[in-house]
A and B are shown apart, each in its own frame.
Chain A
Amino acid sequence: MSADRETNHTMTDRDIAFLLADAADEVEIGIAPYQAVIRGGRRRRARRWALATAAALVITGASGTLALASLRDTGGAEVTPAVSQKPPRPSTPEERHVYVPQETMLGTGTDKGKDWYVTVEVWGAPRTKAEAQAQLTAMAIRGDEPWDKDNASALIGKVTYFVQRSYGSGDPKFLMGDSASPQDTMAGTDLKSAAFTPDPKKSGGHQRLVVGHVAKTAQTVQCTWKDGTSTEAHRVASGADVNSDEATIRPVAGSPDNWFVCVGPEGASFDSVKVTK
């Protein structure tokens, strides 16, 4: 066995291989659902981003489920890097996470007895066309599709992020994404966000889940609900626990901005959001 070729395995390893084979035989194979695979594949192929470009001032949702907040609502004339001490510049594409994104969980909670999770994947900026092409392939393998998936060059010099929501036992669904220069950082009270229902099948329901990104310096984000109540998200340190139904602002690996999640109580519906501190 090849497993024996590279290391000195004992009989135990070989026996475990036998037991694994034995256990694998327990599965009922059935008939390959070819037609279902084709249907699912075509759906995936047809899927497109709801994407906000860096130039756009609002996010427009193709599915109609996005509630909007402002981008650069201070006018955004000046953009100052929030972090003055730059770490040593990574050189290889692997070190820059060009082919494997960094993933951070932004929030989690429960909705009608089902768990939901919001995560963000951040892909490092490719420097060459070859790196960009390889990144596109790596994205395709993970099921991520950038806006301009046939134009690798468009990714050069840009960090790409995908925000996804998982609900119950369903597959992660794309919420929002963008490709932007890492120098294009948020500042002051800049904010970009979208609001969603926790359950993707109830997109017309109460949008009590707000996800967005803000400047590294932002300490508090206030989400106001239509009934007049509000929820505050406070900044936490990198790696802080993600607690159920908790609103927080947190650093995201690979992102030049901090990200927040606000979770409203059941029945709440998004009205507005702003950086208050």
Chain B
Amino acid sequence: MGDRKEARGTRDDEFQSFVIGRWPRLMRTAFLLTGEQHAAEDLVQSTLEQVFVAWRKVGSADDPEAYVRRVMINAHARKHRRRLKEFLAPKDDSGLVREIADTGDRIAQAEDRNALLKALAQLPPRQREAVVLRYWEDLTETQTAQAMGCSVGAVKSNAAKGIAKLRAIPGLAETVTQGGPK
């Protein structure tokens, strides 16, 4: 009985470390997926709640990160299937994309960021997920397919379409020809 209690205590500690350690990264990914601070917080919290329920299994898995990604992508996809509007387009009053009146470079960078977020917002959810997982999470196509619950072919197709649309952003194309953001 005591052993069981001890094991549970250890599991709780592990989960707490996991939550605290992964929170920043998960928040960034969720922000790119949802485009809005509060929606990102909701998505990550909801994801971690589901992970908590299955923590005994997840915590001892070889790759708990993969499980968490899968849960998050599912939660995001599910929300989209409901056709609820996300607030991806940066809002003037939200501070989501703050233009910094500092140097010309920084203004240009903020504009790029703004343009990128807007373009990301306009991608269909599966394309957005594929782009975020491949180019922000830096996952392989196979890992992305596992996270999205689809085939590698579907990942390739969604990522290629998504990235082609992002490339078409006029301001961004200019930045790219100059060697990317500073």
Measured CB to CB, the closest approach of chain A to B115, in angstroms, equals: 9
Give chain B interface residues in 101-145, CB to chain A under 8 Å.
109, 112-113, 116-117, 120, 131-132, 134-136, 138-141
Interface digits, B30-64 against A, CB 8 Å rule (1 contact, 0 not)? 11100001001100011011111110010000000
A23-B32, A26-B97 in contact; A103/B81 too (CB < 8 A)? Answer: yes
CA distance A142 to B175 in the complex (A): 40
With an 8 Å Cβ cutoff, the count of chain B residues facing the other chain is: 64
Identify which of A13, A16, A119, A143 gathers the most chain B CB atoms within 10 Å of its CB.
Answer: A16
**Contact (Cβ within 8 A) A27 B40:** yes
Cβ A166 vs Cβ B84 within 8 A: yes
A37–B45 CB distance below 8 A: yes
B19 touching A45, Cβ below 8 Å: no
Is residue A28 contacting chain B, with contact meaning CB distance below 8 A?
yes
Rounded to whole angstroms, the CA-CA distance of A43 and B41 in the bound complex is: 18
Residue numbers in B under 8 Å from A119 (CB-CB): 81-82
A56 proximal to B (CB < 8 A)? no
Smallest CB–CB gap between A28 and chain B, Å?
Answer: 6
Known: A20-B116, A171-B46. A32 touches B52 (CB 8 A): no
B10 at the interface (CB under 8 A from A): no
Are the CB atoms of A44 and B53 closer together than 8 Å?
yes
Flag if A24 contacts B28 (CB, 8 Å): yes
Report, as a range, how many residues of chain A touch the other chain: 35 or more
Contact B135 A26 (CB under 8 A): no
- Which residues of chain A are near B23, meaning CB under 8 Å? 29, 32
B57 to A, closest residue via Cβ: A137
- B contact residues around A34 at 8 Å (CB): 16, 19-20
A48 to chain B, nearest CB (A): 13
Contacts of A33 in B (CB 8 A): 41, 45
- Measured between C-beta atoms, what is the minimum distance from A77 to chain B in Å? 39
The answer to whether B45 and A36 touch across the interface, beta carbons within 8 angstroms, is: yes
State whether the Cβ of A123 lies closer than 8 Å to any Cβ in chain B: no
One digit per residue, 1 when the CB lies within 8 angstroms of any chain B CB and 0 when it does not, for chain A 9-35 equals: 001111111111111111111101110
B135 close to A13 (CB less than 8 A): yes
CB-CB < 8 A to B176: which residues of A? Answer: 11-12, 15
Known: A32-B19, A171-B46. A143 touches B136 (CB 8 A): no
Whether A1 touches B138, Cβ cut-off 8 Å, given contacts A28-B37, A141-B74, is yes
Q: Please, which residues of chain B bring their CB within 8 A of the CB of A25? A: 28
Q: Are B46 and A40 in contact (CB under 8 A)?
A: yes
Chain B: minimal CB distance from A259 (Å): 16
What are 24 A-B pairs with beta-carbon distances under 8 A? A1-B138, A2-B139, A11-B176, A14-B180, A16-B116, A16-B135, A17-B135, A17-B136, A19-B172, A22-B113, A22-B181, A23-B113, A27-B40, A32-B19, A37-B19, A40-B52, A41-B50, A41-B53, A100-B149, A115-B83, A117-B83, A119-B81, A119-B82, A141-B50
